[in-house]
Chains A and B, each alone.
Chain A
Amino acid sequence: SQQGEEDPQALSIQEGENATMNCSYKTSINNLQWYRQNSGRGLVHLILIRSNEREKHSGRLRVTLDTSKKSSSLLITASRAADTASYFCATEYAGNNRKLIWGLGTSLAVNP
């Protein structure tokens, strides 16, 4: 399978704590994207990081990319109950078709 793989599959934390989830992939990429999906809703784009970038920030989100390890991490700081959702990484593979491959997601529960 060419899927990116997120870990952990599920994560439960208390409000105010930080949440870290990881994504690994298999071949060279153009970029890697993180999305959030609330239950019963569509996916919402969070951050895109290009292959030549190592770190990006957006509000309480921090994404890192290590192309030598073919992995990325998403850190959510000072989590809130509203952050409860599934988080997906999607990798755009380098090559002619620039296919976007989705992972199976990490389910995050932030407890009040």
Chain B
Amino acid sequence: DAGITQSPRHKVTETGTPVTLRCHQTENHRYMYWYRQDPGHGLRLIHYSYGVKDTDKGEVSDGYSVSRSKTEDFLLTLESATSSQTSVYFCAISENRDRAYGYTFGSGTRLTVV
């Protein structure tokens, strides 16, 4: 999607290994979010950021950490991947806290933990 890219698009990793997913935006939006999408659960918020070095936990943050050292990059790290973290991960951005224009989503990263 224009203005926001996720990498990698697909990844297979082994249980117990660390994994980092990257979200890059060119919109200079303040707010960035990491979600996971699983059948039967819908989208669930993992972590979000409201500025450089300002992050907070979402509803399913256990086993994940994030970092935002620049406005344009928001990294999601699975510290020690488990099979339960097999999912599709989406990054989203929004211009302001009011979210008057909704979120812009990336195309997702499909992560498989074997």
Binding site for B on A (CB under 8 A): 3, 31, 33, 35, 40-45, 48, 88, 90, 92, 98-100, 102-105
Contacts and interface: CB of A to CB of B under 8 A. Distances in A.
A48 B42 contact: no
Nearest to B97: A98
A67 B52 CA distance: 36
B42 A104 contact: yes
Contacts of B41: 104
Interface of B: 1, 40-45, 90, 92, 97, 99-108
B99 A42 contact: no
B42 A92 contact: no
A103 B90 contact: no
Contact of B107 (A35, A42, A92, A105): A42
B32 to A, nearest CB: 14
A97 to B, nearest CB: 9
Contact of B99 (A3, A48, A88, A103): A48
Interface of A is mostly: strand
A3 B104 CA distance: 21
Contacts of A42: 1, 90, 105-108
Contacts of B97: 98
Given A48-B99, A48-B100, A98-B97, A43 B42 contact: no
